[in-house]
Amino acid sequence: MTTVYETDLTDLEQLDVQATVAKVVDWRGRRVLQLNGLAVVRGLETANATVEVDVCAEESCYPGIAFRLGDVLNFELAYAVPHCSALRDALQYDPVFHGSNTWQLYHGEGHQKDAIVPTGEWFRLRIDVQGGRAAVSVDGQPPLVVPRLAHRQGTGRVGIWTYLPAYFSNLRVSPCRRMPEASAEPLRPPSDTLSEWFVDGFGCVQCEPSGVLNLNRYLPASLSEVILGRRFEMPTAAEVEVAFGFSDELALAVDGDELFTGTNTFRGLGSYAERGYVDLNAHSVRLRLGPGVHQLSATLKVTEAFGWGCILALRAEGIQLLPAVGS
């Protein structure tokens, strides 16, 4: 395979470093880069490519490859999770928007996969990128196929990234091989899931194709609270079901009457329920409404840097969503 770029990562002059730790050390018989953060290759941009790097994790960490970087705050990212080896989230696709990781929004089929990821041993992490898709693998195991990349830029820089220290060696960039087929089509939400919201002070925003609203896509990291709104009309009096999931804090109301308040954040690795994922099946409330136009309001707050947003479906006989405009 033709090599476009290759480095053993021992020359920091070749890298733009945004990291708390970035130093060349001797580790397991190699001269390697110890990193905690982001290091981007200087002077290299790619569109479709295969990126490979040797990785060694001494303790819990999230070592990965950053690609199609627009800048150091906005890029595609995928990584291995050694301390979740053999679990469904041993491989994770985690696009970064405005400096925030968003794995609580991008999870499940097409975003996570099981793999054997060793601790204390070198492994080869590989990402193949072509068009709007990517495949992530460790040591030739069946890949995580990402059927729909979240960022819209088709080209960008390449780098390595980790949260918590890891060791990196032998980075290589080559033309992309033929992409593996996805195991399934990209998941689509139920038809009653909202596809857009009005954000006070900002305007109308679109949900992701999955139905999840990724507020990190639209709003700066300095903002910590927003009010979302959507009007709907009932032809007759009926019971309405509101199904929803969110991150990180939510207060939900209809016509000013509070329906729900709660928090959903990362609470540990003991179970998937503790990860803080945004899931449409997480919550459901019912209320009876009369005929006419009603206002749904959602106040969302962000308290951690793992993605903030929501997904919500309105279910009732004859219910009609009105345009997402200010009230």
Residue-wise pLDDT tens digits, 131-145: 999 999 999 999 999
In a domain, 179, yes or no: no
DSSP 194-240: --EEEETTTEEEEPPTTS-EEHHHHS-TT--EEEEEEEEEESS-EEE
Q: What is the mean pLDDT of residues 47-74?
A: 96
- Residue 182: the pLDDT is 65
CATH number at residue 121: 2.60.120.560
Residue-wise pLDDT tens digits, 253-303: 999 999 999 999 999 888 888 999 999 999 999 999 999 999 999 999 999
Q: Please tell me the distance from the alpha carbon of residue 291 to that of residue 39, in angstroms, as a whole number.
A: 57
Question: Do 204 and 159 share a structural domain?
Answer: no
pLDDT at 96 over 60: yes
In a domain, 190, yes or no: no
Question: Do 216 and 152 share a structural domain?
Answer: no
In a domain, 326, yes or no: no
pTM of the model: 0.94
Question: Do 37 and 151 share a structural domain?
Answer: yes
Rg (the chain; Cα; Å): 22
Is 292 in contact with 234 (CB distance < 8 Å)? yes
Question: Do 232 and 299 share a structural domain?
Answer: yes
Question: Do 204 and 289 share a structural domain?
Answer: yes
In a domain, 217, yes or no: yes
Of 132, 135, 138, 149, the residue nearest 180 (C-alpha): 135
Q: Which residues contact 320 (CB under 8 A, 6 or more apart)?
A: 232, 233, 235
Bridge partner list, 13: none
- Residue 245: the pLDDT is 98
In a domain, 298, yes or no: yes
pLDDT at 1 over 70: no
Q: Which of 143, 174, 205 is the last residue of a domain?
A: 174
State the average pLDDT for the chain: 94
Residue-wise pLDDT tens digits, 22-34: 999 999 889 999 9
Question: Do 37 and 158 share a structural domain?
Answer: yes
Range of the domain at 152: 5-174
Q: To the nearest whole percent, how much of the chain has pLDDT over 70?
A: 98
pLDDT at 185 over 70: no
Question: Do 239 and 160 share a structural domain?
Answer: no
Question: Do 11 and 141 share a structural domain?
Answer: yes
Cis amide prior to 139 (ω within 30 degrees): no
Question: Do 278 and 162 share a structural domain?
Answer: no
Residue-wise pLDDT tens digits, 188-202: 889 999 999 999 999
Give the chain's domain count: 2
Question: Do 234 and 109 share a structural domain?
Answer: no
- Residue 186: the pLDDT is 65
According to DSSP, the β-strands at 133-138 and 30-46 are unpaired
